[in-house]
Amino acid sequence: MAAAADGFRTLDEKSVVDYIKATPTLHAQLGNQLDGLVVKEVGDGNLNFVYIVVGPAGSLVIKQALPYIRCIGESWPMTKERAYFEALALKEHGRWSPDHVPEVYHFDRPMSLIAMRYLKPPHIILRKGLIAGIEYPLLAQHMSDYMAKTLFFTSLLYHSTLDHRHAVAEFCGNVELCRLTEQVIFSDPYRVAQYNRWTSPYLDHDAEAVREDDTLKIEVAELKSNFCERAQALIHGDLHTGSIMVTGDSTQVIDPEFAFYGPMGFDIGAFLGNLILAFFAQDGHADKGNDRQAYKQWILKTTEETWNLFQKKFISLWDEHKDGNGEAYPVSIYNKPELQLLVQKRYMAGLFHDALGFGAAKMIRRIVGVAHVEDFESIADASKRAYCERRALDFAKMLLKERRRFQSINQVISAIQEIPAC
């Protein structure tokens, strides 16, 4: 295919090989053996093509962004410049959390193309593991580590305001992806919108109730303003369980194309909220061989541990770097251990409530908005699916509205456990 004026051309399984051969920086990763490369397109996302390239002496992944949202077709255009921000975020987050972010080998801006580490089998998408009922004993440890590091080191607790504003300005360029989030998370679920869907007719009333819940709408406006206005840290921007690949001992965060400087709670909430969605979906996956009761408890334990470990690690980083360049809490002012403790407590309480709010908003939109989750979609029986979805939706609505009364993640977990079977 001929290149467009901007140097962009869509690759396919065949032309990917030509591209690799013409790109010397990629050869070392393939052990310089370019004959016999096997290419497989595996993109199950909505926005990109993803090619796994395996050769006799090495492997890599090529991800190419397309100028529209794939699942809807060219009717929903989406800037392919997002690949630039994805590459930037992979590098910046990878710098702080190299154990949990795949290495970038090469970025080609005109081609909107990133070459990165191939996460070999048995890596699978975490969401699929959760549906299958697989326990990941290191998941809370790994995800809390990833979030604590990527969020702390890109915040004003570590950055000077000079570095921070510079980085904020750069990521303002990723506005189109932010707008997509604003629309599908903070707006569409709360109004009649073309692409909204839900398990009908079971949830018709529930979807309508969301659109008519004034208290919910007031709270969502506050979260949206936070999302649009507050440049707290470089966030992943789409940190659900479909953006994480796992094995028993590896956890890798991928696809940060929505990255920008936003509220930290948006990332933390995305992960916790999607774990809670997985919890509510379990009843739909139970069968005679496995009632999923033990697994449900494992999900809750992981949810709880993720926040508690995150909090512990985040505060450790803060203590460790309190004499550094971070300008939020200069040690010349916050100069006593007891004062340091007080500001940290206040900061973490705010962050916790942000995370609960954003997490709840992300749960709601997965049930009555455009993009649903496989956790529920894979429950074939619609009435059973609707049952699971309604319990998740009701919990999320309560959490969004009453998040400020929760003082600890343990209280949130207890509230989940106390929900009766309807």
Summarize as ranges the residues that interact with a second copy (CB under 8 A): 156, 161-162, 164-166, 168-170, 172-173, 175-176, 178-179, 182, 187, 190-192, 214, 217-218, 221-222, 224-225, 228-232, 327-330, 332-336, 338-339, 342-343, 346
The side-by-side arrangement of strands in the sheet containing 244-246 is: 124-125, 244-246, 251-253
Shortest spacing between CB 325 and a second copy, in angstroms: 12
Please identify which residue in the block is written with the tokens 């010349």.
332
Q: Tokens representing 417?
A: 């456990």
Ramachandran class of 159: left when φ > 0, alpha when ψ lies in -120 to 50, beta otherwise: beta
To a second copy, the closest distance from the beta carbon of 354 in angstroms equals: 12
Alpha helix locations (H) across 97-171? Answer: 126-132, 139-152, 161-171
Give the rounded distance of the alpha carbon of 111 from its chain centre.
24
Residue 355 CB-density burial (10 A; 0-12 exposed, 13-18 middle, 19+ buried): buried
Give me the least distance between CB of 47 and a second copy, in Å please.
19
Shortest Cβ 59–a second copy spacing (Å): 37
> Which lies closer to a second copy via its Cβ, residue 115 or residue 231?
231
Indicate the residue among 156 and 412 with the shorter CB distance to a second copy. Answer: 156
Q: Which is nearer to a second copy, 28 or 339 (CB)?
A: 339
- Give whichever of 23 and 183 is closer to a second copy, judged by the CB atom: 183
CA separation for the pair 392, 286 (Å, rounded): 16
CB of 373 to a second copy, least distance (A): 23
Query: How remote is the C-alpha of 311 from its chain's centroid?
Result: 18
Task: Report the half-sphere exposure of 419 (CA within 13 A, side-chain side).
Answer: 21
Question: Between 183 and 378, whose beta carbon lies closer to a second copy?
Answer: 183
Q: Residue 339 CB, nearest distance to a second copy (Å)?
A: 5
- CA-CA distance, 246 to 35, in Å (whole number)? 30
- Closest distance between a second copy and the C-beta of residue 105, in Å? 29
CA distance 292 to 275: 15
Determine the Cα–Cα distance for residues 178 and 158; give it in Å rounded to an integer.
24
Query: How far lies 1's CA from each of 75, 355, 392, in Å?
Result: 22, 45, 47
How far apart (Å, rounded) are the C-alpha atoms in residues 317 and 332? 18
Give me the least distance between CB of 177 and a second copy, in Å please: 11
